């Protein structure tokens, strides 16, 4: 299946000059969703992942069913203040300012191999924060897997030295 055909281009969203890559058609098509999950499962097996972590919120859409499909634990990476209990955090830069990503304490033990999953790789800032969280608690970033990569934004440079997998890439 050609997954690129399952992604809608929405011009000028969320603001003028932005071309938004919409994953809603993938989610609305069980065959496309299964294809995405099967391809991500191959990545998870290839890198020897023992846990799947994903970023809120669109990363959850792919990460949680992937973890269930593989029989692996799922870890939520969320914005500051959204998780109960004790958390570990990492800051990352946004276009205008900074944000904080959190993960619950105790969900990763030292040496565990974790695959990070998200819908989109753009500049890599959020992914870098996720990597910092995993490594902060002694986990191993086994790889990073994305449905879409906006290659023109050079997010891979931020993730240099780590295995990065994408299912669909756009150069613009």
Catalytic residues: 58, 95
The first and second tokens of residue 58, run together, are 């669109």
Query: Please, what is the end-to-end C-alpha distance for the chain in angstroms?
Result: 22
Closest alpha carbon to 151 in 127, 128, 120 = 120
Closest alpha carbon to 3 in 42, 36, 27, 34 = 36
The first and second tokens of residue 33, run together, are 């969703």
Pairwise CA distance, residues 73 & 121, whole Å = 23
């Amino acid at each position: 299946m050609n997954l690129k055909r399952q992604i809608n281009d929405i011009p000028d969203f969320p603001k003028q000059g932005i071309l938004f890559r919409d994953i809603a058609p993938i989610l609305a098509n069980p065959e496309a969703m299964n294809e995405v999950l099967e391809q991500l499962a191959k990545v998870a097996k290839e890198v020897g992942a023992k846990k799947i972590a994903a970023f809120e919120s669109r990363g959850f859409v792919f990460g949680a069913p992937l973890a269930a499909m593989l029989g692996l634990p799922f870890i939520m990476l969320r914005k500051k203040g959204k998780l109960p209990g004790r958390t570990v955090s990492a800051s990352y830069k946004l276009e205008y300012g900074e944000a904080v990503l959190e993960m619950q304490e105790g969900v990763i033990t030292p040496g565990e191999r974790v695959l990070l999953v998200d819908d989109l790789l753009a500049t890599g800032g959020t992914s870098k924060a996720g990597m910092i969280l995993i490594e902060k608690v002694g986990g191993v970033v086994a790889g990073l897997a994305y449905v879409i990569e906006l290659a023109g934004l050079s997010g891979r440079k931020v993730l240099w030295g780590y295995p990065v997998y994408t299912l669909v890439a756009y150069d613009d």
